[in-house]
Amino acid sequence: MEKAYKLEFINEQTGTLAVNCCGCSKTEPLHSFGPALKPHYMIHYVLSGKGIFRIGGREYPLEAGSGFLITPGELAFYQSDEREPWTYVWVGFSGSGAGNFVNYMGLSVSHPVFHSERSDELYGSVRDMMEHNTFGLTNELRRNGQLQIFLSLIAENARPQDKAEEDKANQYVIRAVEFIQRNYCNPVKVTDVADYVCINRSYLYTLFENSMGMSPQQFLTTYRITKAAELLAVTALPVESIALSCGYNDPLVFTKAFKQMKGMSPSSYRREMQNKESRRNKEYLRQVEDFISQVNKLNS
């Protein structure tokens, strides 16, 4: 028999990452689960004792300080040791970003185990989830916040051991691009991007040149000016406001960068877009008038 304290939740809000269940178990010798499927991601962390875990045709011996991932739709089996049965905590989770988080942590069916020395903190996160177990947005936010802490503690030591160097490099670029897309409106610099992805600026430069054919600074500027051009074309916002909205505190610096990329000032670009739109509207109106004229001829 297994002495288990567990909770299951209905996610009241859909989102990127949400707790489905959590619990703590002190197992009897040779207590097992499976082979069976889980409908969501599930991470077990061993607090004491030993056991085995099987997934993807492989078996992993585990002990205190180790953990394992069960992936949705994959047959999994785990069993406690006959002499030193394990005690573990677990968290089940899902959401639109769950798979990405797991991959970034370096966990997968082919690499499902990890090690962490943060036993007390991992246990504390799960215990906090269980203490805030009632219906309502407040407790759901609390549980999901603890889930992110739980995963962050594991991510400190979980590394993508089976990923190629090229794969790692691509991930740096992807993370850097996402950072720029989220922060282009702020006066961030390339050093901020490099600090975010935890590599030095020169290495980031090399990665961008190899994968995108431009430097990080060129990409940042291009992204900002592209967003600015969209605002100039579809809004009546002052140029100064558009500059601030695209990460430029100095309108003169913005104008210089815009002119260098677009070959004209922001004001001239706006006038040209308005003239083009006016010409398109006039052409459309002419087509409508021609159609009406043809209909009238048929009616007559």
pLDDT tens, position by position, for the chain (300 residues)? 344 444 454 454 456 788 888 888 899 999 999 888 888 899 999 999 999 999 988 999 999 999 999 999 889 999 999 999 999 999 999 888 888 888 888 888 888 999 999 999 999 999 999 888 777 888 888 988 999 999 999 988 765 444 455 566 778 888 899 999 999 999 899 999 999 888 889 889 998 988 888 999 999 999 999 999 999 988 889 999 999 999 999 999 999 999 999 999 999 999 888 887 666 666 656 665 666 666 555 555
Q: Centre a 10 Å sphere on the Cβ of residue 49 and count the other Cβ atoms it contains.
A: 19
The span from the CA of 42 to the CA of 143, in Å, is 15
Show the DSSP H helices in the chain as ranges.
98-104, 119-131, 137-155, 165-183, 190-197, 201-212, 216-234, 239-245, 251-262, 266-299
3-state secondary structure of 84: coil
The type of residue at 214 is M
Please tell me the number of Cα atoms within 13 Å of 296 on its side-chain side.
6
Whole-number pLDDT of residue 198: 87
What phi, psi does 156 have (nearest 5°)? -60, -35
90 near 25, Cβ under 8 Å? yes
Q: Centre a 10 Å sphere on the Cβ of residue 58 and count the other Cβ atoms it contains.
A: 11
Give the global pTM.
0.60
DSSP 181-229: HHHTTTT--HHHHHHHHTS-HHHHHHHHHHHHSS-HHHHHHHHHHHHHH
Whole-number pLDDT of residue 166: 52
Whole-number pLDDT of residue 12: 44
Q: Which residue has the tokens 């805030």?
A: 132
3-state secondary structure of 230: helix
- Which residues make beta-bridge pairs with 7? 22
Whole-number pLDDT of residue 97: 83
The span from the CA of 84 to the CA of 123, in Å, is 20
